[in-house]
A and B are shown apart, each in its own frame.
Chain A
Amino acid sequence: MEKFITLQSTIVPLPIEDIDTDQIIPARFLKATSREGFGNNLFRDWRYDENNQPKADFVLNKSNISGKILVAGKNFGCGSSREHAAWAIHDYGFKVVISSFFADIFKNNALNNGLIPVQVSQEFLNRIFEEASKNVGLEINVNLETQTITVVGVGISEKFEISEYKKTCLINGYDDIDYLLSLKEKIETYEKTSKYLKIVNE
Chain B
Amino acid sequence: MGKTLFEKVWDAHVVSKIEGGPDVLYIDKHLIHEVTSPQAFTGLEKRGISLFRTQNTVATADHNVPTKNQHLPIAEPLSKFQVDKLTENCNKFGVTLYGLNHPFQGVVHVIGPELGITLPGMTIVCGDSHTSTHGAFGSIAFGIGTSEVEQVFATQCLMQTKPKTMKIEVNGKLNKGVLAKDIILYIISKISAAGGTGYFVEYCGSAISSLSMEARMTICNMSIEMGARGGMIAPDQTTFDYIKNKEFAPKGKKFDEAVEYWNDLYSDHDAKFDAVLSYDASDIEPMITYGTNPGMGIKITGKVPFVSEIKEESNRVSFKKSIDYMGLEEGETMLGKSVNYVFIGSCTNSRIEDLRIVAEFVKGKQKAPNINALIVPGSKQVQAQAKREGLDIILEAAGFELREPGCSACLGMNEDKVPKGEYCVSTSNRNFEGRQGPGARTFLASPLTAAAVAISGKISDVRTFNF
Binding site for B on A (CB under 8 A): 15-18, 20, 22-23, 26-28, 30-35, 45, 50, 73-75, 78-84, 86, 101, 103-105, 108-109, 112-113, 122, 126, 163-166, 175-177, 179-181, 183-184, 186-187, 190-191, 194-197, 199-200, 202
B-side contacts of A18, CB under 8 Å: 193-194, 293, 318
Give the distance to chain B from A125, nearest Cβ to Cβ, in Å: 9
Not counting A33-B81, A200-B258, A202-B254, a sample of 19 additional A-B residue pairs whose C-beta atoms are within 8 angstroms of each other reads A16-B321, A18-B318, A22-B432, A26-B438, A31-B64, A33-B82, A45-B433, A45-B434, A75-B194, A78-B193, A83-B145, A109-B146, A109-B148, A122-B314, A165-B159, A187-B15, A191-B26, A196-B12, A196-B13
Binding site for A on B (CB under 8 A): 12-13, 15-16, 18-22, 24, 26, 28, 35-36, 38-39, 42-43, 47, 49, 52, 63-64, 78-79, 81-82, 85, 119, 121-122, 127-129, 143-148, 150-151, 154-157, 159, 161, 163, 193-194, 197-198, 227, 229, 250, 254, 257-258, 261, 293, 314-315, 317-318, 321, 411-413, 420, 430, 432-435, 438-439
Given A22-B433, A163-B20, A166-B21, answer yes or no on A108-B148 (Cβ-Cβ < 8 Å). Answer: yes
Nearest 10 pairs of A and B residues by beta carbon = A165-B21, A164-B20, A83-B145, A33-B38, A109-B145, A112-B147, A81-B143, A31-B78, A81-B129, A180-B155
A-side contacts of B13, CB under 8 Å: 194, 196
- CB of B39 within 8 A of CB of A75, answer no
B-side contacts of A84, CB under 8 Å: 146
A-side contacts of B432, CB under 8 Å: 20, 22-23, 79
- CB of B147 within 8 A of CB of A176, answer yes
Bound-state Cα–Cα, A103 to B195, Å: 11
- CB of A187 within 8 A of CB of B318, answer no
A-side contacts of B315, CB under 8 Å: 17
Bound-state Cα–Cα, A122 to B127, Å: 31
* Pair count A-B, CB < 8 A: 204
Give the distance to chain A from B264, nearest Cβ to Cβ, in Å: 11
A-side contacts of B250, CB under 8 Å: 199-200
Bound-state Cα–Cα, A42 to B157, Å: 31
Given A104-B197, A184-B155, answer yes or no on A50-B81 (Cβ-Cβ < 8 Å). Answer: no
Bound-state Cα–Cα, A84 to B129, Å: 13
Nearest A residue (CB) for B16 = A186
Bound-state Cα–Cα, A161 to B21, Å: 12
- CB of A78 within 8 A of CB of B35, answer no
Bound-state Cα–Cα, A86 to B154, Å: 21
- CB of A22 within 8 A of CB of B24, answer no
Given A103-B227, A180-B154, A183-B157, answer yes or no on A108-B145 (Cβ-Cβ < 8 Å). Answer: yes
A-side contacts of B119, CB under 8 Å: 200
Partner of A176, one of B159, B227, B430, B439: B159
Partner of A33, one of B39, B197, B413: B39
Nearest A residue (CB) for B9 = A196
- CB of A104 within 8 A of CB of B198, answer yes
Give the distance to chain B from A144, nearest Cβ to Cβ, in Å: 15
Nearest A residue (CB) for B83 = A31
- CB of B150 within 8 A of CB of A177, answer yes
Bound-state Cα–Cα, A104 to B145, Å: 11
The secondary structure that dominates the B interface is: loop
Give the distance to chain A from B42, nearest Cβ to Cβ, in Å: 7
Partner of A101, one of B24, B42, B197, B420: B197
Given A181-B154, A194-B26, answer yes or no on A81-B145 (Cβ-Cβ < 8 Å). Answer: yes
Bound-state Cα–Cα, A101 to B163, Å: 16
Q: Which of B128, B155, B163 has the most CB of A within 10 A?
A: B155
- CB of A81 within 8 A of CB of B64, answer no
Give the distance to chain B from A48, nearest Cβ to Cβ, in Å: 10
Given A75-B194, A75-B227, A82-B36, answer yes or no on A196-B28 (Cβ-Cβ < 8 Å). Answer: yes
Nearest B residue (CB) for A113 = B147
- CB of A196 within 8 A of CB of B121, answer yes
- CB of A83 within 8 A of CB of B146, answer yes
Bound-state Cα–Cα, A50 to B143, Å: 32
Q: Which of A15, A22, A105, A177 has the most CB of B within 10 A?
A: A177
B-side contacts of A109, CB under 8 Å: 145-148
A-side contacts of B161, CB under 8 Å: 163
- CB of A16 within 8 A of CB of B318, answer yes
Give the distance to chain B from A71, nearest Cβ to Cβ, in Å: 14
A-side contacts of B321, CB under 8 Å: 16
A-side contacts of B24, CB under 8 Å: 180, 183, 186-187
- CB of B438 within 8 A of CB of A33, answer no
Partner of B194, one of A78, A113, A177: A78
- CB of A16 within 8 A of CB of B317, answer yes
Partner of B155, one of A27, A80, A177: A177
Nearest B residue (CB) for A18 = B293
A-side contacts of B16, CB under 8 Å: 183, 186
Bound-state Cα–Cα, A200 to B259, Å: 10
Give the distance to chain B from A147, nearest Cβ to Cβ, in Å: 13
A-side contacts of B318, CB under 8 Å: 16-18, 73
Bound-state Cα–Cα, A23 to B430, Å: 12
